[in-house]
Amino acid sequence: MARKCAICGKTAMTGNSITRRGMAKKKGGVGKKTTGITKRRFLPNLQNKRILVNGKIKKALICTKCLKSGKVNVPAYSG
C-alpha cells in the first residue's frame, strides 16, 4: 500500500535537511555556517481506518486532515 491518502491523495513531499555550526549573531557569535545539505522526506500523518464506502466497510489510509474535517464516514465501534 502506497503512503497516500485514499481521500485527498496527499503524498510525501521532499525537502532539505540543513546542518549548521557556529553561534548565531544575535547570541554574540559570528553567524551560523552551513556544513551540509541532505535530502529528506516529509511524510503525511496517515492513519489506518475503517471507513464506509457505498454502504460497505473498507480499510484505508486516511490523513488526519481528512479525518478532522469530516470528509470520511467512520463507522461507530460495535464490539
**Residue range(s) defining the domain that contains residue 28:** 13-69
pLDDT attached to residue 79: 56
Helix, strand or coil, per DSSP, at residue 44? coil
pLDDT attached to residue 53: 86
Domain assignment of residue 59, yes or no: yes
Is 16 exposed, middle or buried, given 0-12, 13-18 or 19+ CB atoms closer than 10 A? Answer: exposed
Domain assignment of residue 75, yes or no: no
Domain assignment of residue 33, yes or no: yes
pLDDT attached to residue 73: 84
Sole residue written with cell 481521500: 7
Q: For the segment 45-54, what is each residue's pLDDT rounded down to a tens digit?
A: 999 999 988 8
Q: Which residues of the chain have pLDDT under 50?
A: none
Domain assignment of residue 51, yes or no: yes
